[in-house]
Every structure is written in C-alpha cells, then in structure tokens.
Amino acid sequence: MKIRAYAKINLALDVVRRREDGFHDLEMIMAPIFLHDLVMVDVIDEGIEITTNNKIIPTDSRNIVYKVAALLIERFQLKKGVKIQIFKHIPMQAGLAGGSADGAAVLRAMNRLFHLNLSLDELAKLGAEVGSDIPFCVYQQFAFVSGRGEYLDFFDASLDDDILLVKPRRGVPTKFAFQNLHIHHCDHPNCRQMRYAIETGDHETMIHCLGNSLEESSFKMVPEIGEIKKELLALGFDGALMSGSGSCVFALTKDKALLEKGYAAMKKKYPFVLRTRFKMPEEF
C-alpha cells in the first residue's frame, strides 16, 4: 500500500508553561502542507523491515515508524509483520514533523491492511503513545493544538498563500530547543487570535500573529535560522517564521514573482529550498 505522509508548519507556537513531569504545555496553530514523504507498507510473514532512501535514518527500533508498527503488532496481536519503504523528501530536524508524518502514514496503512477498522480518533490516540505530533499527522487538517500535542481542535481554513521553505544544513534537536528555552523572555504568540484571523480571512492579522517561542533557543544553536528569516523578510515576503523547533524557516506571499525571486536567491545559498502551499482539507 502506498500512502503520502504530509509535512506541517506551525503558524504559531506558544510554550505556555513547563510541567512538573518535565514536559511543556503548548498552544499551536498547525497546518498541513503539500511537501510529503512517500511510504509503502506491505504485509510479510513476520517481523518489521524498514528501508529508506536516506542513509542517515535508522531502520531499527530507534525509528518512530518501527515503534508505531511494533505498537500495533503487539496491541492487536497481529500474526503477520510489515515491510515499510520510506522515500524521504521532508528534511530531518527541520520542524516539519517528517518522522511523525511517516508514523501516522504507517498507522493508517496498517489499519487498512490488517482490517482493524479503527477510527481516526483511535489511530490518533495510539499515535500519541509514540510521538506528540503523530495525532495531528493522522488527521492532516488545520488545528488549534494544545497540551503536548494530543489535544486537537480542528477549524476551517482557506489560505491561498504560496510558501517558500528554506533550511540550513544544520538541524535542531527538539530536546535542545526546549532545554535552552527561557520561557519568561521568549516570544508568546496569541494562537487564539491567529486562529480567528485564519477563520475570518484576516490576512494582515494572521501575518501579525506569526510567532514561535522556540526561535530564540534554536537561533543560538543554528544562527543561520535567524539569518534566513531576516533575508526572507528583506526580500519582501509578508511574513517568515521558523517552524516547530527548527531549523526550517517558511515564508508566505501571494506574489508569484516574489516567490520565484526568493526561490532563486535562497537556492544559491542553502541546501534545502522548496516552493509549496497549504494542503486544504480533503478525504484520505
């Protein structure tokens, strides 16, 4: 079975507080985009076999896809195994949920292949046991996300902005971004206002609400992230922001000529540059 695993960007990410268990409560506006990995899942006699076109990615139990498959096999006492092929297009350590998207794709594929008849809600609950971004990636819809990522409140959106993605060579481990966060001094965007702006088509307010609490800590590890953001804004993009914990930056515009100009300029300097757009709600 072939399935597409779509990436996401965070239009707003607010780290609300540090919890007693060491994790953080978040509020986020998450949006699916058309950048995707291609995941192929087939039933085999036993075990979990993973292959990928990216030699850096582990193919054993360290891989989030392996963990998802193992969880389903154990939880539902499946008598067969799976062979999973991952064709990566989403860069690693970019803040685009590439691994979580792949994990969600495997959940959906195995649900069909093994006739588990699980709802999306049930798949999301299972995915949350493995990774906090997997629930969002199961649904692939615009959402106000809270908690550690397990609470999703979907809303209607119709955004026609073009998106330019730019990632420097170095990535940012999510753990580093949170460990080096100064929660009382970082940016705290208004995610509720961002949601309202998107729902009402208030583009100016949406751009004003772009913000990410993790930018400051991630900039310290990879200064190029901040430089990319400044370059994109200087080119004339309506807004630019680091997605997730980085290191990918996205820029928004409705000007096709500017999109092409920005693409050409960034392509000369950075290893990953891509033009894409928002993925609107649709049936799987």
Q: Is 102 a catalytic residue?
A: no
Last residue of a domain, one of 154, 174, 206: 154
Which tokens hold the place of 233? 């804004």
Last residue of a domain, one of 132, 154, 176: 154
pLDDT category of residue 129 using cuts at 50, 70 and 90: very high
Is residue 94 situated within a structural domain? yes
**Distance in angstroms (rounded) separating the CA atoms of residues 65 and 84:** 8
| Whether residue 137 sits in one domain with residue 19 | yes
| Whether residue 167 sits in one domain with residue 135 | no
Average pLDDT (10-32) is 91
| Whether residue 191 sits in one domain with residue 137 | no
**Distance in angstroms (rounded) separating the CA atoms of residues 282 and 284:** 6
Looking up residue 261, the CATH number of its domain turns out to be 3.30.70.890
Query: Above 50 in pLDDT, residue 284?
Result: no
| Whether residue 182 sits in one domain with residue 133 | no
Last residue of a domain, one of 120, 154, 188: 154
Is residue 169 situated within a structural domain? yes
Question: Could you give the percent of the chain with pLDDT greater than 70?
Answer: 99
| Whether residue 142 sits in one domain with residue 10 | yes
Among the residue ranges 32-46, 167-181, 200-214, 240-254, the one predicted with the least confidence is 167-181
Query: Above 50 in pLDDT, residue 151?
Result: yes
pLDDT digits (tens, 9 = 90+) for 224-239: 999 999 999 999 999 9
pLDDT category of residue 283 using cuts at 50, 70 and 90: very low
The whole-chain average pLDDT of the chain stands at 95
Is residue 284 situated within a structural domain? no
Active-site residue identified among 14, 37, 102, 133 = 133
Q: Which of 153, 184, 167, 178 is nearest to 269 (CA)?
A: 167
| Whether residue 148 sits in one domain with residue 179 | no
pLDDT category of residue 64 using cuts at 50, 70 and 90: very high
Q: Which of 254, 240, 277, 206 is nearest to 33 (CA)?
A: 277
| Whether residue 223 sits in one domain with residue 242 | yes
pLDDT category of residue 23 using cuts at 50, 70 and 90: confident
What confidence score (pLDDT) does residue 4 get?
97
Query: Above 90 in pLDDT, residue 271?
Result: yes
What confidence score (pLDDT) does residue 282 get?
61
| Whether residue 89 sits in one domain with residue 37 | yes
Looking up residue 122, the CATH number of its domain turns out to be 3.30.230.10
**Distance in angstroms (rounded) separating the CA atoms of residues 46 and 59:** 16
| Whether residue 86 sits in one domain with residue 60 | yes
Is residue 211 situated within a structural domain? yes
pLDDT category of residue 21 using cuts at 50, 70 and 90: confident
pLDDT category of residue 84 using cuts at 50, 70 and 90: very high
Q: What is the DSSP letter of 171?
A: -
Is the separation of the CB atoms in 39 and 5 below 8 Å?
A: yes
Active-site residue identified among 8, 67, 229, 279 = 8
Residues 6+ apart with CB under 8 A from 115: none
Is residue 186 situated within a structural domain? yes
Q: How many domains does the chain have?
A: 2
Q: Is 133 a catalytic residue?
A: yes
Query: Above 90 in pLDDT, residue 259?
Result: yes
| Whether residue 57 sits in one domain with residue 79 | yes
**Distance in angstroms (rounded) separating the CA atoms of residues 248 and 225:** 7
Is the separation of the CB atoms in 50 and 102 below 8 Å?
A: no
Please give the residue range of the domain that contains residue 181: 162-277
Query: Above 60 in pLDDT, residue 250?
Result: yes
Is residue 204 situated within a structural domain? yes
What amino acid is encoded at 75 in this protein?
R
| Whether residue 150 sits in one domain with residue 169 | no
| Whether residue 181 sits in one domain with residue 84 | no
Average pLDDT (204-224) is 96
Is residue 282 situated within a structural domain? no
What residue has token string 């820029």? 251
pTM > 0.75: yes or no: yes
Is residue 222 situated within a structural domain? yes
CA dihedral 230, 233, 239, 242 (to 10 degrees): -20
